A = this chain, B = another copy of it.
Amino acid sequence: MNQPAKPLDVPQRVLLGPGPSDVPARVLSAMAAPTIGHLDPQYLHIMDETRRMLREVFQTRNEMTLAVSGTGSAGMEAAVVNLIEAGDEMAVCVNGVFGTRMRDVAQRAGARVHSIEADWGQTTDASAVAAALKAHPKTKVVGIVHAETSTGAHQPLEEISRIVHDAGALLLVDTVTSLGGIDVRVDEWKIDACYSGTQKCLSCPPGLAPLTLSPAAVSAIEKRKTKVQSWYLDVSMLRQYWGEQRVYHHTAPINMTYALYEALRIVLEEGLEKRIARHARNHRALRAGLEAMGMSYVPKHSLTTLNAVHIPDGVDDAKVRRRLLEDFGIEIGAGLGPFKGKAWRIGLMGQSSSERNVVLFLSALETIMGQMQPSLPRGKALAAAAGVFGKP
């Protein structure tokens, strides 16, 4: 008994998977500031500024903007369980792991769920949403994933938003893999509930879930006849702690909030527009390199933050990923669901989205695959990427 573990031993990786992304030293340092009380005036100030910066990143004026004390999936659950009461109808667009998860969460909340299915890797057509809402006119909430982390598909939202609101429903959007790396215009696109995670394009460790709710969503919550099934995620109580009343609810993850604060500062110092452009440029360069190596993308509309590509025939998935990790310290993601063993997911998110990482990854991959496929022409990937980076 009382046998402590060995000293913590953490390797320095290059995180190019589907999240977490690399965390800047500034954020790690901020997180290591002394813990203070969750009702300390200085902590309350940090919360206020965190909310304000979150609004800027979400491009919203929503008062009800906060960070849920859990990882991205807790944000999903918070969005769903606050809007849904048992028996409510919810339509969920399902074309990957996270749409599937949202459906499961909604069912557990007692929703009567209408699935709007599309093939994995595809996006959801606006016409399919229109048809579902015509068939189920009492639908209260439509849930959709903006950036499907399991397939790399980038879902357009504007037309769907119009259809959803014309039908009198609320629009709930998962932006876990887009916020801070791809444009997410909560107010302009009229998103009613939007959540994300900290460990993707915000380049903060996992542990908090940014969440913003429109006045219409808040009004729907206020009109509930029953309590939210989750005490921990009940926005009607959380807002009293994040708002002026400062009523104690639960002890916030203090140091995680420091980290998010610093991560948001970095996002806003760079500027959202520049940051989004950086993600787009590095994606184009990586894509040029991968395609020069003969690889093809899974989705038609790819995210710029996550690149899902088919693994070439005859290439040993696990072996490549193991060599990337062990010999180069690079993490990329395996395929999920129908893409298990068939696709790689290469993230270029936040701090990880850099010219350095594009060049490093393409070089490492070419080295490893060249040893497996001696016929693979060398140097083409880097040349193609350099063509994109080619400074004017």
Contacts and interface: CB of A to CB of B under 8 A. Distances in A.
> Top 3 A-B pairs ranked by shortest CB distance?
A207-B253, A32-B32, A5-B49
Contacts of A8: 30, 33, 46, 258, 261-262, 265
Contact of A255 (B104, B205, B271): B205
Dominant SS among interface residues on chain A: loop
A150 to B, nearest CB: 10
A357 B283 CA distance: 54
Interface in A13-40: 13, 15, 17, 19-20, 22-23, 28-38, 40
A42 interface: yes
A221 B40 CA distance: 39
Nearest to A262: B8
A357 to B, nearest CB: 15
Nearest to A11: B42
A232 B33 contact: no
Interface in A139-192: none
Contacts of A2: 56, 268, 271-272
Interface of A: 1-13, 15, 17, 19-20, 22-23, 28-38, 40-42, 46, 49-50, 52-53, 56, 69-74, 77, 101, 104-105, 107-109, 197, 199, 205-207, 227-232, 248-256, 258-259, 261-262, 264-266, 268-269, 271-272, 325, 331, 336
Copies assembled: 2
Given A11-B36, A71-B250, A52 B205 contact: no
A3 B251 contact: no
A385 to B, nearest CB: 24
Given A70-B70, A72-B251, A199-B251, A229 B108 contact: yes
Nearest to A331: B37
A15 B56 CA distance: 33
A254 B205 contact: yes
A235 B301 CA distance: 36
Nearest to A49: B5
Given A71-B253, A256-B253, A42 B206 contact: no
Given A9-B42, A69-B207, A70-B70, 17 more contacts: A8-B30, A8-B265, A10-B36, A10-B42, A11-B34, A28-B34, A35-B205, A69-B70, A70-B74, A71-B250, A73-B232, A73-B249, A74-B250, A77-B232, A205-B253, A206-B251, A253-B253
